[in-house]
Amino acid sequence: MTEIAIPQHAVAVPDQAAAPGTDLILWARQAEAAAIYAERVCSTAMVPKAYFGKPAEAAAAILKGAELGFGPMASLNAFDNINGTPAPKAITLRAVVQGKGHDVETIEQSPTKAVVRGRRLGKTDWQTSTWDLARAKRLPQYKTNPNYTNNPEAMLVARATAEVCRWVGADAIMGMPYAAEEVGDFAEVAPAPVTRRLTVAELDAAPAPAADEPLGDEQRRHMFALWNELGFGGDKNREQRLTITAKILGLESLESSSDLTRAEGDVVISALRERLERMAQAAGAEQ
């Protein structure tokens, strides 16, 4: 199996004594840089097939990998694109956990059984996960997840590896719930939409596409609630909110949130919610 190397120096953590909002502004700039990078590489054959022509999904994977110390291209190889969401491969979880000094070892592997064990840095007790076909067959999705048929050995090793990594290194993997190989066991993948080529007559008869609708009142309330949770509420923080919003959307400037479209509002809300989740995970790791 190909190992993914974890750099010894992770992404720099902003000084906790810095002015309020500095961390979020730096994150917004990082998001902008990731989007620019993704736009340039996603049209090349150098990116994994799952990200070809999908710069938005690639940018999300790059940002997710940056949290763990990965470079941009390493991030695209470390995360699969599952319905638009970056999901770490089992080998990625293993690399991150081992990079923090914890032990993860494969004791046995075959097309019918995999045994992986792990222990935290400084501990002597091992925790062992065993995945065999009998256990896998108890899953309702066993028959619908093709991984068990196409490559059962790798699938069983991935399931055992991911389980051990969660046991011994939950703090290291920053709460990432499931490996990409496991996703098929928890949710049905939406079928690909059926497409049909329109005729010239249908195209001529179709109405012109409407312009993006303006930001809705419900979106606006949701956005301001998130800003308040992040500590950016009130009139005194208006300029900082506009600066960060512009960075998230890749705009040079923004005079008012009223200028946002509904689609742009969704992007900002998603970015703010992700930031809150990261802050909660970091706070939980410190406790």
- Specify the number of domains making up the chain: 3
- 175 and 147 co-located in one domain: yes
- 47 and 116 co-located in one domain: no
Domain's final residue, options 69, 87, 105? 87
- 95 and 163 co-located in one domain: yes
Label residue 108 left, alpha or beta by phi (over 0 means left) and psi (-120 to 50 means alpha): beta
pLDDT averaged per 10 residues in sequence order, the chain, 287 residues: 43 43 72 86 85 86 82 84 75 88 94 94 92 87 82 90 88 72 56 48 52 74 81 81 85 84 82 77 58
CA separation for the pair 1, 16 (Å, rounded): 39
- 103 and 157 co-located in one domain: yes
Q: Which contacts (CB < 8 Å, 24+ apart) does range 232-237 have?
A: 232/21, 232/24, 237/21
Tell me how many degrees the CA angle 202-205-206 measures, rounded to the nearest 5. Answer: 85
CA separation for the pair 217, 183 (Å, rounded): 35
- 241 and 262 co-located in one domain: yes
- 75 and 142 co-located in one domain: no
Whether 274 maps to a domain, the answer reads: yes
Whether 44 maps to a domain, the answer reads: yes
Whether 203 maps to a domain, the answer reads: no
- 180 and 112 co-located in one domain: yes
Whether 137 maps to a domain, the answer reads: yes
- 146 and 75 co-located in one domain: no
- 78 and 97 co-located in one domain: no
Q: What is the pLDDT of residue 126?
A: 93
Whether 202 maps to a domain, the answer reads: no
Q: What is the pLDDT of residue 255?
A: 86
- 99 and 71 co-located in one domain: no
Whether 178 maps to a domain, the answer reads: yes
Whether 196 maps to a domain, the answer reads: no
- 72 and 101 co-located in one domain: no
* Domain of residue 116, residue span: 89-186
Q: What is the pLDDT of residue 106?
A: 95
Q: What is the pLDDT of residue 104?
A: 95
Whether 263 maps to a domain, the answer reads: yes
Token reading at 10: 């992770």
- 139 and 224 co-located in one domain: no
Please give the C-alpha separations between residue 6 and each of 67, 118, 191, 212, in angstroms, as whole numbers: 12, 18, 35, 42
CA separation for the pair 150, 103 (Å, rounded): 29
